[in-house]
Structure 1
Amino acid sequence: MTDDELPELPRGIALAWGVAANPQRGPKREMSVERIVDAAVELADAEGIGAVSMAAVAAKLGFTPMSLYRYVSAKDDLLLLMQEQGTGLPPESHRALDGWRARLLALYQEQVLLYLRHPWMLSLPITGSPITPNSSAWLDASLATLDDTPLNAEERLAVALAITGHARWCGIVQAGYSEQARGTGLSPDEVAAREAALFDRVISADEFPALRRAIEDSVFRSASDPFRFAVERTLDGVAAYIAALERDATHSLSDDWITIDPAELAGDRRLKEAQKSVREAEKALRAARKLERQALREAGERLAKVKKSG
């Protein structure tokens, strides 16, 4: 593709960059893309992403839905602009920190806070690389933290994506607990305690021995942050990798992506039936192993009684 054949920017992305054509006519000068997005974000923050529709946003602004379409022609474009506003720009404060690790960890923490402020953002699908200004600024900031390291361009991107993934996963879980707390009236600690009690009720040592030991060690009641532990250990690995590069060690990224077979994507009927049979067989195997463990336990108890009586 030549420069003359570059694809046209989708309207949502063009709006985000401020290069979309303005509507030729509108209902009133008070209407603008910015006001529409502000109203939509307020709705989502208060009631969740499900409350956001072109009609609801129009009603909030006192206009008709058709008035909005002159500015934002599709709901997908509105969602993109909402995500862009919710994302905002990365804070400048991380630049003052010493070293790539501290700066990257600060960006991780700020990304988690974004999701806690706007949990509806976690419901929006990931459709590709960030192309909007604010999303691009966050990726640029993460890559810039690694400027003084010996990592190559591919490796820097891999590290940036890993930290972003950690932040998103942490945000998903924490936002879920917060939403459950709002819905039940319980505090987050009370929600965690109720969850621990439910685990304690259904998880047996016979069927899930490692998980049962974890429950008895009170992992679900612990105040420690498992997500911070995970991201710190990821950074440990990056630091070790950088140290190896500085010793002139040779490394390379794997080019083997995890992929799914095209036949499965195509929804082949015979393949689906075969996969269903496999799931049913696995379920039967789990049930048989559960019976086996139960029989072994009961046999052991009987043997112990015989030895004790003898």
Structure 2
Amino acid sequence: MSEEQSEAVRLLWGPHPKPSRGPKPALSLDRIARAGVEIADAEGLAAVSMQRVAGLLDVTKMALYRYMPGKAELVAVMVETAIGEAPPPNGLRRGWREQLGDWARHLGTVFHRHPWLLDATVGPRVIGPRELAWMEQALATLDGTGLTGAERMDAVVLLAGHVRGIVLQARAAGPAGSPEAQLTATLGELMRAHGEQYPALTAALASAAQSGGQDQALEFGLHRILDGLSLLIAQRSN
């Protein structure tokens, strides 16, 4: 483990010793993390720097380094703060499908609220206790289904990847509208000029427009993933 990763582990997992003497520290990890989240929410992850965070907290950059070794560690605690607590369990009477579906929707809400998390949660990195609690809860919903541990992990990764992909498209679309609506509008113009070359696409767009089926990509994909898991679980029970 690199020195940078070791520092991230210490900040995320503790312990965080408090001085027994002297004045109360002017800053806390939570306050620093929330300042970074505020900047990232407004301007994106690239806008976050030790200097910007220090300015927002009204301290010098050197003062901030007393609490935070660098930007990599700062982003790690920002992720832990932004992702928040895992959604509460839905109760024992609800099945794995309903619980896992709610878990995926909650994850989508978090990514929509903090789109920069899409950039901050890729590649090798240290994961904090809150983020692991999300994974723990999703895996726990599949207890008793007959799926192996590896299959459960793959199922959770598949669901998270679907949610990430939808939110990524929404972020790219920006405030102008949903990605589905933008794609439909763009393709509609093209089909009016070249529709005879793409009859299947033309028919699909016309059907979607009549049924109001746009903007359902998250739910459609979510249900199809859960359908597939249901079939696999049913096979294991036979």
User: Which of 196, 207, 218 in structure 2 is aligned with 1:227?
Assistant: 218
2:186 matched to 1:198? yes
User: Which of 84, 90, 93 in structure 1 is aligned with 2:86?
Assistant: 90
User: Which of 10, 15, 20 in structure 1 is aligned with 2:6?
Assistant: 10
> 1:93, 1:145 → 2: CA distance?
9
Task: Using CA pairs under 8 Å that are at least 6 residues apart, name the structure with larger relative contact order, 1 or 2.
Answer: 2
CA contact (8 A) 1:94 1:107 kept: no
> 1:112, 1:132 → 2: CA distance?
19
- Change in CA separation of 1:66 and 1:7 when aligned onto 2, cut-off 3 Å: closer
Q: TM-score, normalised by structure 1?
A: 0.66
Instruction: Return the offset for 1:173.
Output: 2.3
> 1:242, 1:119 → 2: CA distance?
33
CA contact (8 A) 1:97 1:103 kept: no
CA contact (8 A) 2:8 2:126 kept: no
What CA deviation, in whole Å up to 9, does each residue of 1:224-282 have, x standing for no partner?
A: 512211111111111111111111xxxxxxxxxxxxxxxxxxxxxxxxxxxxxxxxxxx
> 2:237, 2:126 → 1: CA distance?
31
Aligned to 1:56: 52
Structure with larger Rg: 1
What CA deviation, in whole Å up to 9, does each residue of 1:154-211 have, x standing for no partner?
A: 111111111111221222223333xx21xxxx5x36x865553332334533665543
Aligned to 1:213: 203
Size of the alignment, in residue pairs? 234
> 2:81, 2:50 → 1: CA distance?
17
- Matches for 1:138-149 after TM superposition, within 5 Å: 138-149=134-145
Over the matched positions of the two proteins, sequence identity in percent amounts to: 33
User: Which of 167, 170, 175 in structure 1 is aligned with 2:166?
Assistant: 170
Instruction: Return the offset for 1:223.
Output: 4.0
Query: Bigger CA drift: 229-238 or 87-96?
Result: 87-96
CA contact (8 A) 1:205 1:213 kept: no
> 1:38, 1:174 → 2: CA distance?
24
User: Which of 219, 222, 240 in structure 1 is aligned with 2:231?
Assistant: 240
User: Which stretches in structure 2 are left out of the alignment for 5+ residues?
Assistant: none
CA contact (8 A) 2:9 2:126 kept: no
- Change in CA separation of 1:76 and 1:7 when aligned onto 2, cut-off 3 Å: closer
User: Which stretches in structure 1 are left out of the alignment for 5+ residues?
Assistant: 1-5, 248-310
- Change in CA separation of 1:96 and 1:219 when aligned onto 2, cut-off 3 Å: farther
Aligned to 1:32: 28
Aligned to 2:100: 104
Q: Secondary structure at the match of 1:166?
A: helix
Instruction: Return the offset for 1:214.
Output: 3.0
Instruction: Return the offset for 1:7.
Output: 8.2
What CA deviation, in whole Å up to 9, does each residue of 1:19-54 have, x standing for no partner?
A: 35679xx99722222211111111112222232111
> 1:219, 1:49 → 2: CA distance?
36
Aligned to 1:258: none
> 2:18, 2:200 → 1: CA distance?
60
> 1:52, 1:140 → 2: CA distance?
30
CA contact (8 A) 2:181 2:214 kept: no
Q: TM-score, normalised by structure 2?
A: 0.84
- Change in CA separation of 1:22 and 1:176 when aligned onto 2, cut-off 3 Å: farther
